[in-house]
Structure 1
Amino acid sequence: MNIAEKLAAAKKALEEKRNALPALTKEARSLIEKADSDEEFKAAKEKRDAVAAAEQEIKDLEEKRDLYEAAIKGTEEPTNTPAQKPEKHDYREAMNRYLHSRGRESEGIQFEKTDQGTFAVLRADPTDASDVANAGVKSPDVKPTIPETISYVPQRELQTVVDLKPFAQVFQASTQKGNYPTVANATTKMATVAELEKNPAMAKPEFKQVPWEVATYRQALPISQESIDDSQIDLVGLIQTNAQQIKVNTTNSAIAAALVTFATKTVSTIDDLKHINNVDLDPAYNRAIIASQSFYQWLDTVKDGNGRYLLQDSILTPSGKSVLGMPIAVVSDKTLGAAGEAHAFLGDVKRAVLFANRADFMVRWVDDQIYGQFLQAGMRFGVAKADEKAGYFLTYTPKA
């Protein structure tokens, strides 16, 4: 078998391997997608190995073909006589093979030497109306052959949700409603007494009963078993995560509804905020600020007389910032009001809000009626305003 015959055999084998590769690849992908058991995974792996072996055989055949073509070119001088020129459509097919093989398949291609180098000759067919009308192939023309990458794993929308529940006074309720006692700060003082005089009576602690009542919050979502089986992700886990976020939104809404009932104050400058912190609020209370985004934006832009920002870095606060020594937690504008409104609560949140936690549950059960599962999420809790002097509800209003 001479070199020309070897080249023809290599090209034929290469064409057969290339034609068989797409079907083999499709079959391997189908097995991988459907594999659930160990045996199916093993079969899918074997098929994928067969694809890899076929790809390697194609590479080996391409190297042989290139070797044979190089040997033939070294012994034969190409001639471009009119009788040897291919037909227009044959030349177009040869050019197509030349382009797709990145220059490896150059059979039937005419080359032209210039000062810049040797280039393949592109011949246009003026009698072909399709070439004149379309003037080249663009991406939209071959859209059916261009693959698209599709991801089946959804990305959750980025949203920062601060859980306000840890700020409140949380206790485990054992009944549906009741009263929670709080003790007012002592304001009396001792009197001086002479020797052997009778002891004056000590002031009794002042108790205040805070009534609370538990309400039930719950939701349920039916999930078909087909959607659970066919989904590319842990669908039940994703819905459970979403349900946990709904729970936080629910408790935040209830706590915020209690915060907005406190005595209101309007602030226009940082001095107004200092007055509330230093004078209006009793020194015995702990301080914290629950700020809406718009209120936080104002705080974040306030500077002192030396041009330094008042907000300070703090690793102990949810927002990573503090102002006037008070930690700050940032919530959305809608949590404390409406979008664009600048509100905040300044004070002792644990003394201000009572959170009676009765139950917190999330259950799943299979329903034989719908061939699916129900995911139920629910909570039983009550929120009450505890100490009305523990803080103020602020509204920022710029100076006219």
Structure 2
Amino acid sequence: MTLDEKLAALRKQLDEKRAALPAMKEEVRSLAEKAESEEDFKAAQDKRSAVEAAEKEINDMEGKRSLYEMALKGEQVPAKVAPATEDRRKEVNDFIRAKDLSKSMTISLREDAVVSETAADNGIKSADNTLTIPIAQTYVPQRELETVSDLKPFTHVIAAKTASGTYPILKNVDGVLHEVAELEKNPALAKPEFSKVDWKIGTYRGSIPISQEDIDDSAADLVGIVAENGRQLKRSTANSVILAAFKTLTAKTVSTVDDLKHIINIDLDPAYNRALIASQTFYNFLDTIKDGNGRHLLHDDITSASGKSILGMPVVVVSDKSFGAGNAFLGDVSRAILFADRADLDIQWVDNDVYGKYLRAGMRFGVAVADKNAGFFLTYVDPKA
């Protein structure tokens, strides 16, 4: 099999494994949500381990693909730098032959350069032999770690067909059915109540030109790196708009676990689901609170994006930079936030005028508060402050 064929086969395998990954992650979530026994939880954990193994395999294959691409371009990752020149080698060898460790002496390595005979002064150091010491170098960049929670799946997502619109939300039912005797006329039922949510689509986009020379000469998959950067920008954009919507909800301050319990038990209607979208600082507060027996209330939970839950609620962590230090949302995200999804664009095209490619990343969506009673915007206040 030729190198071209190997690269084509590897790319096909990569595409297949990447395509299978979302379904595997969804299966983990589904198994965890339906788990009722220890065996069920073990099955979910095993599946999660399979997901992690698949992600590692994808990373390994991407590195192998980069090496194939370099080989096809006639490039090599240097194992070591060029050897020392003859002059430098002769200079070092003369110095070594002239050394006599049994007696004190001085040695002239260069004209007018006299060095005292001590280990610190006359020993051969790395700095003296930079041409003989290889330097390992990689050409595939490592992405800087950051908080990458995607909040869009937690919201109520609708497919938008127009630039703006109104979405009806059915209010929670407070009424009850009436007890009646046999064959008595049915009493009238309470009419369902709807509230209207107005949404409007906004356009968020940008592009970046990449020269064809840069694409050809780069050891790494430059187009893939820029495309992934565009996807991260889109995710951050959606998160920022969703987090801004959280801040318009009813605000409450929290200083203790009792404050948190009051909001869960009293302020939030029991009909709503409960989740916590917490900034790093708020998450630190959650990680420190304990029950009456001194046990931490934050627990491991494989169904949560952060792997943690507290008081029966999954916890999702976002950065202080994106949400603000000490801020959090508590409530039912899917009831609170409506996400009108119009278009999600990730396109590249060739521009003959500049001999390169343009990569365009764009989104068209709108975010609106659907139910203002479905959650609260929390701010942690240090009781000692």
TM-score by length of 2: 0.71
Residue 10 of structure 2 is matched in structure 1 by: none
Cα 1:250/1:97, change in 2 over 3 Å: same
Please list, as runs of the form range in 1=range in 2, the aligned pairs for 1:17-32 lying within 5 A after superposition: none
Distance 1:127 1:265 in 2: 78
1:368 corresponding residue in structure 2: 352
- Equivalent position to 1:132, from 110, 115, 122: 115
Q: 1:33 and 1:166 mapped to 2: Cα distance?
A: 36
Name the SS of the counterpart of 2:115 in structure 1.
helix
Over the aligned positions, Cα root-mean-square deviation in angstroms equals: 2.9
Describe how 1:245-264 pairs up with structure 2 within 5 A.
245-264=232-251
Q: CA deviation at 1:145?
A: 4.3
1:226-265 matched pairs, under 5 angstroms: 226-265=213-252
Please list, as runs of the form range in 1=range in 2, the aligned pairs for 1:242-391 lying within 5 A after superposition. Answer: 242-337=229-324, 341-391=325-375
- The separation in 2 between residues aligned to 1:306 and 1:378, in whole angstroms, is 51
Listed one character per residue, the Cα deviations across residues 76-95 of structure 1 (whole Å, up to 9, x for unaligned) are: xxxxxxxxxxxxxx9x9678
* Partners of 1:293 and 1:332 within 8 A in 2: yes
2:203 corresponds in structure 1 to 216
Q: Which amino acid aligns with 1:36?
A: L
Match of 2:194 among 207, 211, 235: 207
> What is the Cα deviation at residue 194 of structure 1?
4.2
Question: Which of 146, 167, 178 is matched with 1:180 structurally?
Answer: 167
Find the aligned partners of 2:105 and 2:312 in 1 and give their Cα distance: 79
- Give the conservation status (yes or no) of the 8 Å contact 2:70–2:219: no
Structure 1 window deviating more from structure 2 (231-240 vs 196-205): it is: 196-205
Preserved CA contact (<8 Å) 1:300 1:311: yes
Any conservation in 2 of the 1:181–1:208 contact (CA below 8 Å)? yes
Aligned equivalents of 2:316, 2:233: Cα separation in 1 = 19
Query: Unaligned regions of 5+ residues in structure 2, if any?
Result: 1-67, 77-89
Check conservation: 1:260, 1:336, Cα contact below 8 A.
no
Residues 33, 281 of structure 1: CA spacing in aligned structure 2 closer, same or farther, 3 A cutoff? closer
- Cα pair 2:98 2:107 within 8 Å, conserved: no
Matches within 5 A, 1:65-76: none
Give the C-alpha shift of residue 273 in structure 1. Answer: 0.5
Q: Distance in 1 between matches of 2:143 and 2:377?
A: 33
Change (3 A) 1:214 1:95: closer
Q: CA deviation at 1:199?
A: 2.2
1:394 aligns with 2:378: yes
Cα distance, 1:160 vs. partner?
Answer: 2.4
Q: Aligned AA for 1:313?
A: D
Tell me the secondary structure at the aligned position of residue 132 of structure 1. Answer: strand
Q: Deviations over 1:24-64 (max 9, x none)?
A: xxxxxxxx998637xx79xx9xxxxxxxxxxxxxxxxxxxx
* TM-score normalised by L of structure 1: 0.68
Q: Which amino acid aligns with 1:360?
A: D
- Measured at CA, do residues 212 and 195 of structure 1 come closer, stay the same or move farther in structure 2, by a change above 3 Å? same
Structure number, greater radius of gyration = 1
Instruction: Return the letter of the residue paired with 1:162.
Output: S
1:228–1:236 CA contact under 8 A, matched in 2: yes
Q: CA deviation at 1:149?
A: 2.6
Q: Deviations over 1:242-286 (max 9, x none)?
A: 111111100000110111111011111101100110011000000
Are the equivalent residues in 2 in contact too, given 1:344–1:394 (CA < 8 A)? yes
Q: Which amino acid aligns with 2:72?
A: D
Q: In the alignment, what sits opposite 1:65? A: none
Cα 1:209–1:125 change in 2 (3 A) is closer
Letter in 1 for 2:346: M
Cα contact 1:220–1:375 (8 A) shared by 2? yes
SS of the aligned residue for 2:293 comes to coil
How far does the alpha carbon of each residue in 1:359-384 deviate from its partner, in whole angstroms, 9 at most, with x for none? 10111111011111000010111101
2: CA distance, partners of 1:282 / 1:35: 62
Q: Which runs of 5+ in 1 are unaligned?
A: 1-31, 45-89, 100-109, 111-119
Give the direction of change, closer, same or farther, for the CA distance of 1:353–1:142 in structure 2 (3 Å limit). Answer: same
Q: What is the rounded CA distance, in whole Å, between the counterparts of 2:179 and 2:108 in structure 1? A: 121
User: Aligned letter for 2:347?
Assistant: V
Paired residues, what number? Answer: 298
Please state how far the C-alpha of 1:207 moved relative to its aligned partner: 1.0
C-alpha distance in 1 between matches for 2:128 and 2:257: 64
CA shift, 1:96, in A, is 3.9
SS at match of 1:381: strand
> Using a 3 Å threshold, how does the CA distance of structure 1 residues 193 and 142 change in structure 2: closer, same or farther?
closer
Take 1:127 and 1:186, find their aligned partners in 2: how far apart are those partners? Answer: 96
In the TM superposition, residue 125 of structure 1 has moved relative to its aligned partner by 5.7
